[in-house]
Chain A
Amino acid sequence: MTSEQIIGKAVPRKEGWDKVTGRAQYIDDITMPGMIYGATVRSSIPRGIIRNITFPPHIPWDEFVIVSASKDIPGKNLITLILDDQPCLADGVVNHPEEPILLLAHSNRYLLRKAVDAVVIEYDPLPAIFTIAESENRAQIIWGTDNIFKTYLVEKGNVDSIWNDAAYIVEGEYTTEAQEQLYIENNGMIAQYDSSHGITVWGSLQCPYYVHKALMMLCNLPEDKVRVVQTETGGAFGGKEEYPSMIAGHAALLAMKSGKPVKIVYDRMEDMTATTKRHPSRTRHRTAVDRNGKILGGEIDFVIDGGAYATLSSVVLSRGTIHAGGPYYWPHIRIRAKAVATNAPPHGAFRGFGAPQSLFAMELHMERIAAAVGISSVEIRKRNFLQPGQTTTTDQVIREPIDLSRLLDRALELSDYQAKKNLFDIHNKTASQKKAIGIAAFLHGAGFTGSGERYLASVVGVEGLPDGRVRVLVSSTEFGQGTKTVLSQIAAETLRLPYEDVEMAQPDTETVPNSGPTVASRTAMVVGKLVQSAARGIMQTLLASGSLNESYSREDFLAACRKYVAEHGELKSWARYEAPPDIFWDDQRYRGEAYAAYAWAVYIAEITLDLATYTVTVDDFVALQEVGKVLHPVLARGQITGGVAQGIGYALYEKVVWNNGRMQNGQMTNYIMPTSADLPPIRVYFEELGNVHGAFGAKGIGELPMDGPAPAIVNAVADAAGVRFNSIPLLPEDIFSVVSAAAEEADHVPQGVR
């Protein structure tokens, strides 16, 4: 493959061969000499004081390694992240079901299981709270002084001035439930300790340096005595962003105490009940609209349930807050946002990171505004779309030449929207299988919010190898999205080398720099750009060395690189993130350039609602987006179809059943995600505007497709049923209860209220 063909081409996935032959080594595939197994004893109650722990005599406890909070933690009993409020092991009190209390290890996994079940923990239970409403009313204070992890206030213009001019004031309240990431590879880690090298952990994870930092503090070890290596990771979706630090910590404590390598691999139920999920949310809208359907301004109140510890909630809240106004122009707005505590296991990162929640509310609310004004779903959006030169809710000026009305028109055309709508109107008069088609328009910011990238100050390296080829050094991880492939493409294109001449270092904190966490749709745009400049550095060094001239061939490059490495011992080039000078962000007032770039999209879902069974099937799905330059068409399409499938699951299939803060259906048998037989054709289309920020014009793509499916589908279901829905998920029983409640109410309310 010659160099000009690399960006935008479907080169083979770097690690693809290993994956289709079964040779790829995931954490559970790895064993080590003398390795034993670790397991976690967890709380069975949501909140209380641990009174007593007993070890019944039918288990040979002297064969076990036992780690407890009070005796066996060399450093601080913390999983450090943002607020440092989450203990590694509960010490005296528990604040959620499944909270880790004790660690056990043994060479026999079956005996280990028995031992975990045998430990008897007695508690003095304390009253617990489980919902946003219970947290807000503060009957119990379970965190800080007010149950509030974080608040934000976004103010633009003067929202108090607009209500008198409104032709319509439209209000609505929308809620979303938790969602399990359900990567198919359960979480797992192996840790090994010896006093000269310190602690090493291998595992399934997204962010090696998060784990690294957490282990330094927990194990009380210096930087160079903690090493974190990512093994092949079988899906993550945010679910392996923060919790792996906990598991790594547990494995590390057992390894330090036993002196043996310790493997902890969760089974499905432990993974589902004990680890993070998407934050449940509640969004209230109050919007002033003029008689033509133009939004004058409004108030949005956005709340997420963070569970028992702060973990990443403040950051999830931030993204949700900034996306709450959708892709619309708000002359005046006030957004109040807060993350509250409940006695559930902490909710955490999951693809979209707060945005799917607040955008769901926005896109349902747009339908409510359209109905109030008496115009169509299409028209209400066109009259309010953000235009270049206008400002977002945080006062960020849109500089990209995005034309959302055109994007919408194109999606309407691709889905044959109008013709179908007309057809369905006739069809639905007589059929009990109602058909409908729904729209969602949305945006997704790429990279860390606000000053996040500036604080991260990511570093990327590229090194020349003794054989003349190059290797990219990043801690950015591959978990299916194509990190390795896309970053190799960027390096290859920059150096004008064939794709095959670039390899990716395994993410290992001993050998790769901190290129930041692999989250927030930042890898292609932010890290990719740094790979580009580090690669340029290699080229410049070789040019300056005199052994390479500008119009080099592949062979020239390899020869020059070989020579340089032979003479100097190594050839490395580093690039560190520098914020573009025109990016301004005010963390106090939450104003400014929230993201370096946005991806834009319009999704259209066509559904059938069966009024006999209350089941919904999605018949067709059009996903149209503008994500800047598409670096790899096959991987990009895969990101969209995968995200849409998760979004369809979020809307129609996936329901976490809670009982006293514990997930009751922590199995694949009763927490249902879509199968190949459930999904419609997902038709994916890209528009390319180009963008100055990313490498070769790429913006983020990973999270975007999670935002649109749920509102597009629910808008369609509402249309089909002729009633409003305000929440997801919509399983048949949920649809049934809303439809029957509406039918009851119809006896009291005049017709025409939709």
Chain B
Amino acid sequence: MSTPPTQCEISMTVNGEKKTVHAFPMARLLDVLREHLRLTGVKEGCGEGECGSCSVLMDGNLVNSCLIPILQTQGSNIVTVEGLAQGPQLEKLQQALLDCGGAQCGICTPGILMAARYLLNRKPRPTLEDIREGLSGNLCRCTGYAQICDAVAEASVRENAL
């Protein structure tokens, strides 16, 4: 067996706060978020980049945190589901997902929310096709996606009505 690698020190901004963690360089961002920072809203569904449950925003891009070694996150800005709502109020997207029935068992929900947030950030008025494409990296076994797509469309309407 090779000697275990030494830990590295990583600083990043997570949900608006500066964080420093010590972890093995190849530790997955997913595990660091969940275990070091106790951000358990980030879920593991497959561990291989297929299900999107572990989706977070990294410097504004949508990434699967199970595929990102912590080494790559030095100095980055990470947003997880816990960073969507500030304070007790839900953000419009979360509220729309709730209203439209887009969260059933809820395990895919954090990832879906991040993918939808990313889509709406880039495209505030997405078409249904945009939404279906934009969410196609996030598996949901419960809903058949219909009510999730409704929710994203509804969130777009509500956000643009600001």
Contact B106 A232 (CB under 8 A): yes
Q: Which residues of A contact B141 (CB under 8 A)?
A: 181-184, 235, 237, 642, 646, 673
Contact A185 B105 (CB under 8 A): yes
Decide yes or no whether B98 CB sits under 8 A from chain A: yes
Instruction: Tell me which of A10, A23, A185 contacts B43 (CB under 8 A).
Output: A185
Interface readout for A660-683 with B: 1 if CB under 8 Å, 0 if not?
000000011100010111110110
CB of B2 to closest CB in A, whole Å? 13
Measured CB to CB, the nearest residue on chain B to A481 is: B104
Q: Which residues of A contact B104 (CB under 8 A)?
A: 235, 480-482, 638, 642
Query: What is the CA–CA distance of A236 and B144 in the complex, to the nearest angstrom?
Result: 15
Instruction: Tell me which of A22, A643, A676 contacts B149 (CB under 8 A).
Output: A676
Q: Which residues of A contact B63 (CB under 8 A)?
A: none
Contact A17 B81 (CB under 8 A): no
Decide yes or no whether B138 CB sits under 8 A from chain A: yes
Decide yes or no whether A268 CB sits under 8 A from chain B: yes
Query: What is the CA–CA distance of A442 and B117 in the complex, to the nearest angstrom?
Result: 40
Decide yes or no whether B8 CB sits under 8 A from chain A: no
What total of A-B pairs shows CB separation below 8 Å?
171
Decide yes or no whether B59 CB sits under 8 A from chain A: no
Decide yes or no whether B118 CB sits under 8 A from chain A: no
Q: Which residues of B contact A679 (CB under 8 A)?
A: 144-146
Interface readout for B139-150 with A: 1 if CB under 8 Å, 0 if not?
111111111110
Contact B41 A23 (CB under 8 A): yes
Measured CB to CB, the nearest residue on chain A to B39 is: A22
Decide yes or no whether B50 CB sits under 8 A from chain A: yes
Query: What is the CA–CA distance of A480 and B143 in the complex, to the nearest angstrom?
Result: 9
Measured CB to CB, the nearest residue on chain A to B149 is: A676
Decide yes or no whether A145 CB sits under 8 A from chain B: no
Contact A642 B106 (CB under 8 A): no
Q: Which residues of B contact A234 (CB under 8 A)?
A: 43, 105-108
**Residues B18-65 near A (CB distance < 8 A):** 34, 39-48, 50-51, 53
Contact B138 A676 (CB under 8 A): yes
Contact A17 B90 (CB under 8 A): yes
Contact B144 A22 (CB under 8 A): no
**Residues A204-237 near B (CB distance < 8 A):** 232-237
Decide yes or no whether A568 CB sits under 8 A from chain B: no
Q: Which residues of A contact B147 (CB under 8 A)?
A: 634, 637-638, 641
Instruction: Tell me which of B51, B82, B136 contacts A22 (CB under 8 A).
Output: B82
Query: What is the CA–CA distance of A673 and B136 in the complex, to the nearest angstrom?
Result: 11
CB of B146 to closest CB in A, whole Å? 4
Given contacts A185-B107, A637-B101, A668 and B51 within 8 Å (CB-CB) = yes
Choose among A26, A668, A669 the residue with the greatest number of B CB atoms under 10 Å from its CB.
Answer: A668
Instruction: Tell me which of B47, B105, B137 contacts A184 (CB under 8 A).
Output: B105
Contact B46 A17 (CB under 8 A): no
Q: State the majority secondary structure of interface residues on B.
A: loop
Q: Which residues of A contact B138 (CB under 8 A)?
A: 675-676
Measured CB to CB, the nearest residue on chain A to B35 is: A31
Decide yes or no whether A644 CB sits under 8 A from chain B: yes
Decide yes or no whether B156 CB sits under 8 A from chain A: no
Decide yes or no whether A551 CB sits under 8 A from chain B: no
Contact A19 B106 (CB under 8 A): yes
Given contacts A637-B147, A681-B146, A21 and B48 within 8 Å (CB-CB) = no
Q: Which residues of A contact B100 (CB under 8 A)?
A: 634
Given contacts A268-B46, A480-B106, A667-B46, A21 and B85 within 8 Å (CB-CB) = yes
Query: What is the CA–CA distance of A185 and B141 in the complex, to the nearest angstrom?
Result: 10
Measured CB to CB, the nearest residue on chain A to B103 is: A19
Interface readout for B79-123 with A: 1 if CB under 8 Å, 0 if not?
011101100001000110111110111111110010000000000
Contact A20 B144 (CB under 8 A): no
Measured CB to CB, the nearest residue on chain A to B101 is: A634
CB of A625 to closest CB in B, whole Å? 15
Query: What is the CA–CA distance of A445 and B40 in the complex, to the nearest angstrom?
Result: 39
CB of A478 to closest CB in B, whole Å? 8
Contact A677 B101 (CB under 8 A): no
Q: Which residues of B contact A67 (CB under 8 A)?
A: none
CB of B27 to closest CB in A, whole Å? 10
CB of B157 to closest CB in A, whole Å? 17
Decide yes or no whether A645 CB sits under 8 A from chain B: yes
Decide yes or no whether B161 CB sits under 8 A from chain A: no
Query: What is the CA–CA distance of A10 and B98 in the complex, to the nearest angstrom?
Result: 11
Given contacts A22-B40, A22-B41, A682-B146, A676 and B51 within 8 Å (CB-CB) = no
Contact A677 B146 (CB under 8 A): no
Given contacts A20-B94, A184-B139, A185-B107, A676 and B47 within 8 Å (CB-CB) = no
Contact B110 A645 (CB under 8 A): no
Measured CB to CB, the nearest residue on chain A to B95 is: A20
Query: What is the CA–CA distance of A183 and B51 in the complex, to the nearest angstrom?
Result: 11
Given contacts A19-B103, A481-B104, A668-B51, A638 and B143 within 8 Å (CB-CB) = yes
Measured CB to CB, the nearest residue on chain B to A22 is: B41
Decide yes or no whether B132 CB sits under 8 A from chain A: yes
Q: Which residues of B contact A619 (CB under 8 A)?
A: none
Given contacts A21-B94, A22-B80, A235-B141, A267 and B47 within 8 Å (CB-CB) = yes
List 19 additional contacts besides A10-B99, A20-B103, A668-B51; criterion CB under 8 Å: A16-B98, A17-B98, A19-B103, A22-B39, A22-B80, A22-B81, A22-B82, A24-B106, A26-B43, A184-B139, A186-B45, A638-B142, A641-B147, A645-B143, A667-B46, A667-B48, A676-B135, A679-B145, A682-B144
List 10 contacting pairs A-B, 8 Å CB cutoff, sorted by A: A13-B101, A17-B98, A20-B97, A24-B106, A232-B106, A234-B108, A237-B141, A480-B105, A638-B142, A676-B145
